[in-house]
Amino acid sequence: MDDSTKITALPARHFSGRGFKRNQSLWCSYALEINDKKIYLGGDSGYDTHFKEIGETFNSFDLVILENGQYDKNWKYIHMMPEEVVTAAEDLNAKQLLAVH
């Protein structure tokens, strides 16, 4: 990695459920700044105000990668419904969206 690459750990909305005890680790998302491009990696996250705050901080992203496909109304705090993925991309000022899981 050189001076043209920057990685920033950012908030995500999830919980830690691996192992015998819950909430022993933290979840996060990442912003990658490589040369003049910005990429947001959302990881697993429920929809919340952190997307808007991140969008305001970074102005816009060339590519936003957000999770989609494991949604259920019972999981709304840890995974997004399809329409929330679109809203999160808008909050992040995404130029392009890649939905993954």
pLDDT band with cut points at 50, 70 and 90 for residue 21: confident
Q: Would you say how long the chain is, in residues? A: 101
Q: Identify the pLDDT of residue 91.
A: 98
**How do residues 38-75 score in pLDDT, each as one tens digit?**
999 998 888 999 999 999 999 999 999 999 877 778 87
The three state secondary structure string of 27-91 is CCEEEEEECCEEEEECCCCCCCCHHHHHHHHHCCECEEEEECCCCCHHHCCCCCCHHHHHHHHHH
Tokens 């808007």: give the residue. Answer: 52
Q: Identify the pLDDT of residue 86.
A: 96
Q: Identify the pLDDT of residue 1.
A: 57
Other Cβ atoms less than 10 A from the Cβ of 13: the count is 21
- Which domain range does residue 29 map to? 5-100
Q: Are strands 29-34 and 37-41 parallel, antiparallel or unpaired?
A: antiparallel
CATH number of the domain to which 88 belongs: 3.60.15.10
The tally of domains found in the chain comes to 1
Q: What is the pTM of this model?
A: 0.86
pLDDT at 2 over 70: no
